[in-house]
Structure 1
Amino acid sequence: MRKLRVLAVAMAVVLLLSTTSAFACTAVYVGKNVSEDGSTIIARSEDQGTGAYNKMFLVVDRVENVPGRTMDDVQGFSYPLPATTYKYTMVPDSSGAGDGPYMGACTNEYGLSISATVSAYARPEVEKVDPYVEGGLREAVLTGIVAATCKTAKEGVEKLASIIEEYGSEEGNVIMLADQKEAWIFEVYSGHLWAAQKMPADKVAVFGNQFMIETVDPADTENFVYQKDLFTTAEANKWTVLVNGKVHLAATFGEPREDYSNMRTWMGHKLLAPATAGEYKTETLYPLFYDPAKKVSALEVMDVLRNRYEGTKYDASLPGNESLRVIGVERQSQIHVIQVKDNYPKEISALQWLAFGNAEHSVFLPNFSGITDTYSAYKVDGEDYNSNGAYWKFKRICTLAEQNRSFYGQGVKDYWNFYEEDLYNDMKTAEAKMIKLYAEDPAKAKKYVTDLHMQISEKACKDADHLYDNLLFFMMDRFGRTAQKLGGPFVPEISLRDAAADKGYTVKWTGNTKPIVLTNGSSSYSFTLGKDTCTVTKGGKSTEVKLSFAPLEKNGTTYIPLDLAMTL
């Protein structure tokens, strides 16, 4: 979550009117015992104060025995790095954004993944006693410091604690760290006060911009660590809030609950454990961790991060709800879902799904953490629109789709959902191959996952360009026409080969004027370029169906309507 220093004066005015920041993020955690595939999942949306905010995806190489280096922030903070630092991936701001690197999410060569941060805010009296430290640790650099210097989640917790002890913190933050053994949540309450909790493997969590750690037994050092004066400072200043005889940290140090953040936390319950959600109440201290109704997949986590309160009276599409702060906000810049898997080699311990733009109308693309380089479109720098950049390729589709979510946007969502499900299934085969290759030769495995990243990214960028052109033409063609002449909503074109392969169909094609036949067992689809009908045969019965548009050929690729592909 972003706190742009260049907006400090404007923000000061806003904060006089409201305790809520203009910027925000939402986080999701799924323990390995309750995830669909046994992976630990940490996920977060990075939301900006503006809708156009370029992000990149890069690999930072390992550095051996080069002393004297530092990790620097724009406000003067400088942290001395050890002579040897570790390789890691990151999702930084463009270099001219002006507020520091903001690595966003990192995975390193020792199997540590970190997502930081969800900004959160302390009670005014807490900040008065232990104010934030100008020039202290910020979200802008903390992910990179931890990824470059730590091998485990617990070591990352200890590193953060030591830095805050020495330098102080300039902001309140919630951080998630995970390795193949365990996961931790780390909360920074004020300039020097902090606490961390081991996240249970059999629970899930979804939360907005608020502190969430609940009741704590100070003697439980296996599951909790905290700043040495945390409890005595609270007691001395009469802040302590007890629940069932134990100190409730969120209530003790955090600002009172408000709709901006708490409604997102409630919606997490509604999505993952609906029987426990109840009616939303602003002041409720919803639990951080809880049992999901069923095991949760990475695909479902992606949908949580797209959510706009659909199916509730707070649905953002309903009149009067336009100002509600939803999870799937339009000013997202990058959204990551990191799966840490026990059966992966430590050096390639995670599968990170990364979306640029708005999760609602973008696509999550998979990247194994052992990659040694990233696709060229992810390296395009700059603050201005550049159609060569991955961020801009996906963000521009979101911008068009969200002009009319039902007429334009639904087709885009369907297209990317189809795409993600295909990739999700492909990764099951890819991970088995990666594990086998790593056992033979780690270098081969790293080359394989890097090549795979390049192939997936290049194809997705090309497909995004086609989808953008397809949607833009659809919108231009209908601009200025009356509702009666608009016809049906946008249905994307999808590659025939992709659709057939995804659904297990073979393609028989003998020329543009002859039928193209897709076959899978006793099922078949027969259609011809330029004709908007299709003969569908299933169970020995043939039916002629009307298509949204006639299949067509562009630049050597045959395209069919997405709604046809979804019926295969």
Structure 2
Amino acid sequence: MRRFRILAVALIAALTLSTASAFACTAVYVGKDVSTDGSTILARSEDQGTGAYNKMFVVVDRVENVPGRTIDDVNGFSYKLPATTYKYTMVPDYSDAGDGTYAGACTNEYGLSITATVSAYVKPEIEEVDPYVEGSLREAALTGIIAATCKTAKDGVKLLADIIETSGSEEGNVIMLADQNEAWIFEVYSGHLWAAQKMPTDKIAVFGNQFMIETVDPSDTENFMHHKDLFTTADKNGWTQKVDGKVHLALTFAAPREDYSNMRTWMGHRLLAPSTVGEYKTETMYPLFYNPDKKVSALDAMDVLRNRYEGTKYDGALPENKGLRFIGVERQSQIHVIQVKENYPAEISALQWLAFGNAEHSVFLPNFSGINDTYSAYKVDGERPNYDGAYWKFKRICALAEQNRSFYGQGVRDYWNLYEESLYKDMQKAEKQMITLYAKDPKAAKDYITKLHMDIAKKACFDADYLYNELLYFVMDRNGRKLDRIGGPFVASMAIRDAAHIKGYSVKWTAKDKPITLTKGSTVYSIIPGDLEYKIAKNGATTTEKMSEAPRVEKGITYLPLDFVSGL
């Protein structure tokens, strides 16, 4: 994530286990040959220096033949736009944050997706030779520039290269770009030096705030691009490091590995390819690309970005690890997982999953690129809490859940995990409808995915409000009491029709004095609101069981405890 220049010198010195800088992100890449559905996946967490930081989600419309426009950054940098610019989505900061737009992640009408950036740091001697340029290109502006003006990932690489070589960069960054044909990683080392590599379709990558490109062959112009003086500058200044006779860019340019970032890189490898990584070592140069042990889904990428080193000696649940920098840090503001699909029409070629707040206790909601507008809650602006806004609705749940992860947070995680899994299945059906519609009428397809976005976002915001109220009551009721003496942890409730949809049951309620029935095949559950007991009829036999909490009706909606729903 972002790097404020006033902290630039102090930042590198601060990158330790206990005194790490707040400005950081984690990225995930999955090649289309090793994803479960054949999509290329770009994913990243946007981590802030503060726990509360409003983000929005908006559509920027296409502009036809209007010359003289620019994209301007608060540091004085200005980029002159062509007369025609493209439609794209972005995830910007609130408008008066004071440090630029920070579009975060973009998908445009030509099928180009960009996530920017993961801040990264070079050896001090490199910045001395080619210092960062004040008032030049920053993360705050670059994503929007590419999305507005480029049609392919390679176009984006070339444009970035041109801007950096002519105007300079104010910071070190790692950017990922993908279209329906290929994906690229772009590393900005210093004021003008850069390199980019085509990402292999049969590999994955997870990395923290560190440069990652390894050995390269400068003659391989199909898979590698770089500043024309990259290698000669390194040679001239004695920086060049080689492995097996090839220049290793990470060894040549990157600051020494340290736990703050390298542990996240290792953990991603451990999660997705445990067979090829051992115990963590600070100085190890973990590879950028490697084979996963099994194919990786978008849901897997989401789980990587909420991980807190569970199951290792660095587990965030252990008190001795309180000072570690985890992947699933509480300071996340927005987290995205973008699936770029070959079989989609180009202008709706990406399915972006977007979570606001902290991935650990929030939910990833799907949005097909090409939507005409975004739900009103995504456009609520401002620095201070406004609970009409999507960011604040989800963030406040996170803030409560993380007061006690086992007692409050687990129930929230269970609820959203079930919610996400259901949406993931629903989108597999929705994409077929979208493609069929597009073949007949592209406008109808875009209207369909826009309405789908609106319906999903509206419902998720409603459900988030209900979940928050449930959790808040639970926390207040136990405030000042010893949690280990007053019953079990928080269990969320789910609307009965949602539960039935997720688990494949039909719902029927004939009258107020009759039970509600859930039916699937020969199995029938009979449930009475307010009654702990329920009946199960299966294959001619009927038994009576009890729920952990009685179903209740609020505003005409019957809610069931999630532990019951999970067991259906």
TM-score (norm 2): 0.98
Looking at structure 1, the residues matched to 26 and 11 of structure 2 have their Cα atoms a distance apart, in angstroms, of 21
Matched with 2:308 is 308
Matched with 1:454 is 454
**1:35-74 alignment to 2 at 5 Å?**
35-74=35-74
Establish whether residue 117 from structure 1 lines up as the match of residue 142 from structure 2: no
Matched with 1:195 is 195
Q: Which amino acid aligns with 1:269?
A: H
Looking at structure 2, the residues matched to 184 and 115 of structure 1 have their Cα atoms a distance apart, in angstroms, of 11
Matched with 1:183 is 183
Q: Which amino acid aligns with 2:48?
A: Q
Matched with 2:554 is 554
Q: Which amino acid aligns with 2:206?
A: V
**1:165-184 alignment to 2 at 5 Å?**
165-184=165-184
Q: CA deviation at 1:388?
A: 0.5
Looking at structure 2, the residues matched to 218 and 16 of structure 1 have their Cα atoms a distance apart, in angstroms, of 33
**1:370-409 alignment to 2 at 5 Å?**
370-409=370-409
- 2:14–2:21: 8 Å Cα contact kept in structure 1? no
Establish whether residue 157 from structure 1 lines up as the match of residue 178 from structure 2: no
Matched with 2:473 is 473
Matched with 1:362 is 362
Q: Which amino acid aligns with 2:390?
A: A
Matched with 1:531 is 531
Q: CA deviation at 1:478?
A: 1.4
Looking at structure 1, the residues matched to 205 and 196 of structure 2 have their Cα atoms a distance apart, in angstroms, of 15
- 1:513–1:529: 8 Å Cα contact kept in structure 2? no
Matched with 2:215 is 215
Q: CA deviation at 1:516?
A: 1.6
Establish whether residue 463 from structure 1 lines up as the match of residue 438 from structure 2: no
- 2:467–2:492: 8 Å Cα contact kept in structure 1? yes
- 1:31–1:203: 8 Å Cα contact kept in structure 2? yes
Matched with 1:132 is 132
Matched with 1:500 is 500
Q: CA deviation at 1:537?
A: 3.7
Q: CA deviation at 1:426?
A: 0.5
Gap change, CA 1:432 and 1:419, over 3 Å in 2: same
- 1:512–1:529: 8 Å Cα contact kept in structure 2? no
Looking at structure 1, the residues matched to 25 and 32 of structure 2 have their Cα atoms a distance apart, in angstroms, of 23
Looking at structure 1, the residues matched to 97 and 467 of structure 2 have their Cα atoms a distance apart, in angstroms, of 28
- 2:15–2:258: 8 Å Cα contact kept in structure 1? no
Give 5+ residue unaligned stretches, structure 1. Answer: none
**1:272-311 alignment to 2 at 5 Å?**
272-311=272-311
Q: CA deviation at 1:546?
A: 2.2
Partner SS for 2:26: strand
Looking at structure 1, the residues matched to 399 and 65 of structure 2 have their Cα atoms a distance apart, in angstroms, of 46
Looking at structure 1, the residues matched to 530 and 125 of structure 2 have their Cα atoms a distance apart, in angstroms, of 70
Q: Which amino acid aligns with 1:452?
A: L
Partner SS for 2:54: coil
- 1:177–1:185: 8 Å Cα contact kept in structure 2? yes
Q: 1:268-298, CA deviations, whole angstroms, 9 ceiling, x for partnerless residues?
A: 1110000111010000111100000011110
Q: CA deviation at 1:18?
A: 4.5
Q: CA deviation at 1:502?
A: 1.6
Looking at structure 2, the residues matched to 482 and 172 of structure 1 have their Cα atoms a distance apart, in angstroms, of 48
Partner SS for 2:339: strand
Q: CA deviation at 1:136?
A: 1.0
**1:301-340 alignment to 2 at 5 Å?**
301-340=301-340
Establish whether residue 353 from structure 1 lines up as the match of residue 353 from structure 2: yes
Matched with 2:515 is 515
Q: Which amino acid aligns with 2:403?
A: Q
Looking at structure 1, the residues matched to 22 and 518 of structure 2 have their Cα atoms a distance apart, in angstroms, of 51
- 1:118–1:208: 8 Å Cα contact kept in structure 2? yes
Looking at structure 2, the residues matched to 392 and 484 of structure 1 have their Cα atoms a distance apart, in angstroms, of 30
Establish whether residue 25 from structure 1 lines up as the match of residue 25 from structure 2: yes
- Root-mean-square deviation over aligned CA pairs: 1.2
Q: 1:223-264, CA deviations, whole angstroms, 9 ceiling, x for partnerless residues?
A: 000000000000111111111111000110000000000000
Matched with 1:97 is 97
Gap change, CA 1:426 and 1:254, over 3 Å in 2: same
- 2:22–2:47: 8 Å Cα contact kept in structure 1? no
Q: 1:45-85, CA deviations, whole angstroms, 9 ceiling, x for partnerless residues?
A: 00000000000000000001111111100010001000100
Q: CA deviation at 1:166?
A: 0.9
Q: Which amino acid aligns with 2:272?
A: L
- 1:512–1:528: 8 Å Cα contact kept in structure 2? no
Q: Which amino acid aligns with 1:318?
A: L
Hey, which bits of structure 1, 4+ residues long, moved more than 3 A?
11-21, 482-485, 537-543
- 2:306–2:327: 8 Å Cα contact kept in structure 1? yes
Q: Which amino acid aligns with 1:346?
A: A
Looking at structure 2, the residues matched to 439 and 44 of structure 1 have their Cα atoms a distance apart, in angstroms, of 32
Q: Which amino acid aligns with 1:377?
A: A
Q: 1:7-27, CA deviations, whole angstroms, 9 ceiling, x for partnerless residues?
A: x25x65555554753311000
Establish whether residue 258 from structure 1 lines up as the match of residue 258 from structure 2: yes
Q: 1:283-318, CA deviations, whole angstroms, 9 ceiling, x for partnerless residues?
A: 011110000001111011100001000011110111
Q: How many residues align?
A: 565
Partner SS for 2:202: coil
Give 5+ residue unaligned stretches, structure 2. Answer: none
Which piece of structure 1 moves more, 380-389 or 509-518?
A: 509-518
Partner SS for 2:319: coil
Q: Which amino acid aligns with 1:337?
A: V
Q: CA deviation at 1:493?
A: 1.1
Gap change, CA 1:17 and 1:435, over 3 Å in 2: closer
Q: CA deviation at 1:482?
A: 3.2
- 2:12–2:121: 8 Å Cα contact kept in structure 1? no
Partner SS for 2:447: helix
Looking at structure 2, the residues matched to 16 and 242 of structure 1 have their Cα atoms a distance apart, in angstroms, of 26
Q: 1:71-107, CA deviations, whole angstroms, 9 ceiling, x for partnerless residues?
A: 1000100010001000000000000101000000000
Q: Which amino acid aligns with 1:183?
A: A
Looking at structure 1, the residues matched to 41 and 491 of structure 2 have their Cα atoms a distance apart, in angstroms, of 33
Q: CA deviation at 1:540?
A: 4.8
Q: CA deviation at 1:539?
A: 5.0
Q: Which amino acid aligns with 1:521?
A: G
TM-score (norm 1): 0.98
Percent identity reads 74
